[in-house]
């Protein structure tokens, strides 16, 4: 038996999470960042790589991504159904705000800052 893809994912996803929906179908939100494109290093880049797939119909929808690279971020499911996203790649030094999303609204939103220990620093080399 060979592996097959149920649909063209449209992006090179690094993260995925099963999200509740109001109609009960459920959706998988998946996202990446710089799409592993070396041309994006040290230059403006397209990091708009978020999609959601309906688990019943397998229809894929575009979701506008935050303006920062979500590659290697951390994420956790919240009790209210939202997905908390923190961080992103440290290769591109920048101020990365935490974010959250609820696929019922199909949009990302920025959250208040999250305190981090003073001993943690981010550099272009880390």
Q: What are the pLDDT digits (tens) for 6-55?
A: 678 888 788 899 988 888 888 999 987 766 666 655 555 567 788 899 99
pLDDT class of 113 with cuts at 50, 70, 90:
low
Q: Output 56 or 107, whichever has higher pLDDT.
A: 56
Give the DSSP letter of residue 39: G
Q: What is the pTM of this model?
A: 0.67
Residues contacting residue 12 through CB under 8 Å, at least 6 positions apart: 32, 35, 36, 49
Give the DSSP letter of residue 105: T
Q: What is the mean pLDDT of residues 91-105?
A: 49
Distance CA 108, CA 4 (A): 30
pLDDT score recorded for residue 45: 59
Residue showing tokens 């943690």? 120
């Amino acid at each position: 038996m060979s592996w097959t893809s149920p649909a063209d994912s449209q992006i090179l996803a690094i993260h995925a999470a099963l999200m509740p929906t109001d109609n009960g179908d459920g959706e998988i939100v998946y996202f990446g960042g710089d799409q592993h494109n070396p041309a994006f290093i040290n230059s403006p880049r397209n990091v708009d790589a978020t999609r959601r797939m309906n688990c019943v119909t397998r229809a894929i929808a575009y979701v506008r991504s935050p303006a920062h690279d979500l590659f290697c971020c951390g994420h956790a499911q919240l009790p209210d159904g939202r997905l908390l996203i923190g961080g992103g790649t440290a290769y591109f030094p920048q101020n990365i705000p935490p974010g959250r999303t609820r696929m019922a609204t199909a949009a990302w939103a920025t959250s208040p800052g999250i305190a981090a220990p003073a001993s943690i620093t981010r550099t272009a080399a880390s």
